[in-house]
Structure 1
Amino acid sequence: MERAATRRHYLMVRPTYFDVVYSINPWMNPEKPTFTGLAVAQWEGLRDLFTGLGHRVDLLDPRPGLPDMVFAANGATVVDGRVLVARFRDSQRTAEAEAYLEWFPAHGYTDVRQARWTNEGEGDYLVAGSRILAGTGFRTTLRAHRESQEYFGVPVVGLTLVDPRFYHLDTALTVLAEDTVMYYPKAFSAESRELLEELYPDAVHATAADAAEFGLNAVSDGRHVVLPQAATGLIGRLREHGFEPIGVDMSELLKAGGSVKCCTLELHGTGLAGRSH
């Protein structure tokens, strides 16, 4: 199958203040040393890769005291130019929302508000064609799903996560194209697995080993799939499905429970998507 890339618009935050000084997910260990310079180098490589593929990358300035702010995907969801800013579960991250509430209006977005219910942006909301796939179970709440469906005016399909290692939907599932996803089945409840099988019978399935390497925390433009280079099994399966995988090293950022997708907030509906190249 011939896969076509479309130009995307991303928002990213440089990991200037990256560190692991608390633990709010199973991957974080404050006793394990971190190297901010290495995190910055890995992040810069990802940003340069996106721009090299023809995508637009805007930057939101990092703020001191917010070491997880590099994970821009958690900050908001943007659909058709409407912005729903996150309401974080954990107190260590709540101050990040203010930066997004300021950035979007300053850059021409007129429909911007913060979620009422706990909602961690594209960590749990993934746009898939005419629907939004929405995770729940650890962070984003079911009430937030209803709120998002009303705000964006598109169907929101709830999926329940059951493995605490995969606490956001974007750690367990990647939207590859409008009608294609890849995911780790055991990260989901039985009911959600049945729903995914019904919606995406030709999905790419990840093994436990590739999921543990954060191979599903990936970004696709419809053809190129940027993912952690250690997810070697997924890289092979993506090629079999006609995609062009590009492996990158995000090992330093993984110490905080994030990788490619966590660092990348897609701004849907800004006039850039939909152009083949």
Structure 2
Amino acid sequence: MCPPEHFTVEYAINPWMDTTVPVDPALALKQWQMLKDTLTDLGHTVHVLDAVPALPDMVYAANGAFSVDGKVYGARFKYPQRAAEAAAHRQFYVGGPWTFADPEHVNEGEGDFAYVPEAHGGLILAGHGFRTDPAAHTEAQEVLGRPVISLKLVDPAYYHLDVALAALDDRNVTYFPEAFSESSQQVLAQLFPDAVIADRADAEAFALNLVSDGRHVILNHESTALGEKVRAAGYTPVYVELSELKRGGGSIKCAVAELRP
């Protein structure tokens, strides 16, 4: 995670960003700390990446890389406003027990990649359509040695995979079908017949931008409807208010890069 010490909305690179509405920096930091504390209270270790001045979106740490089995596929951001974030994430990984690969193609880390390790032998789900170059899916497969399923996003409001789909555990997912092309919807239905299906209200509340440890599903405080759906599926929803980070087009998942050694 990376604290929102320099967080602001000073440009608009997704439909949720409104430069006319000021961010409350103190509230953003307080809410981020609540999320960090929630994760540690659930028994998880949180590594903190230092915030860098002039990079207001670094708080969305999930976009900096994608890791599987100790291998890390680095990010290459589409927009120049975020490009320098990739180097900060790279520095974190190359200083640890990871095998890091620099990307040739545009991709935004866990923003457009999700891993379901026990589904069909282990699958990477990968989004494209707005940020990540489809060629990055092939590149990631070569780097990570896991099959990659390409999914086309078609609604600009759901510009990253992680606002349209999330892994709930090692086998199953939740997703909003209308964020995907018809063919991608068919693929998801075949791969995950027991998926928890979200509706538009869930998606608009950024409910799918969640983090799950297989038992606890951490959602933003607006996401009670999806929370009840995942509860019915056997998980325990945990709510955290993250309203300030939503101003930049992200929520729980965007703020958390999951490390898979």
TM exceeding 0.5: yes
C-alpha contact (below 8 Å) 1:13/1:263 kept by paired residues:
yes
Q: C-alpha separation between the residues in 2 aligned to 1:116 and 1:190?
A: 29
Match 1:27 to one of 16, 34, 37: 16
> 1:169 maps to which residue?
161
Identify the structure with bigger relative contact order (alpha carbons < 8 Å, sequence gap 6+): 1
Greater helix proportion: 2
Separation in 1, partners of 2:186, 2:90: 37
Identity of aligned residues (%): 49
- Which residue of structure 2 aligns with residue 78 of structure 1? 67
Match of 2:226 in 1: 234
1:184 paired residue among 176, 191, 197: 176
Structure 1 residue runs of 4+, over 4 Å off? none
Q: How many aligned residue pairs are there?
A: 257
- Contact 2:172–2:192 at 8 Å: present in 1 too? yes
Deviation of the 1:107 alpha carbon: 2.6
Kindly indicate whether residue 16 of structure 2 is the aligned counterpart of residue 16 of structure 1.
no
Give, in whole Å, the separation in 2 of the partners of 1:236 and 1:267.
Answer: 27
Using the alignment, how far apart are the partners of 1:20 and 1:57 within structure 2?
25
TM-score by length of 2: 0.97
Distance 1:177 1:104 in 2: 24
How far does the alpha carbon of each residue in 1:138-169 deviate from its partner, in whole angstroms, 9 at most, with x for none? 01111000000011010000110000000000
> What are the ranges of 5 or more consecutive residues in structure 2 without an aligned counterpart?
none
Match of residue 210 from structure 1: 202
Distance 2:128 2:148 in 1: 12
CA–CA separation in structure 1 for the residues paired with 2:52 and 2:171: 37
By how many angstroms is 1:88 displaced? Answer: 0.1
Q: Give 3-state SS (helix, strand or coil) of 1:233's partner.
A: helix
- The residue aligned with 2:105 is 117
Task: Indicate the SS of the match to 2:4.
Answer: coil
RMSD: 0.8
**1:190-269 correspondence runs (5 A):** 190-269=182-261
Task: Show CA shifts across 1:98-148 (max 9, x none).
Answer: 101211122333x21321100100000101111100000001111000000
Q: Is the 8 A contact 2:101 2:143 kept in 1?
A: no
How high is the TM-score relative to the length of structure 1?
0.91
Contact 1:101/1:113 (<8 A) preserved = no
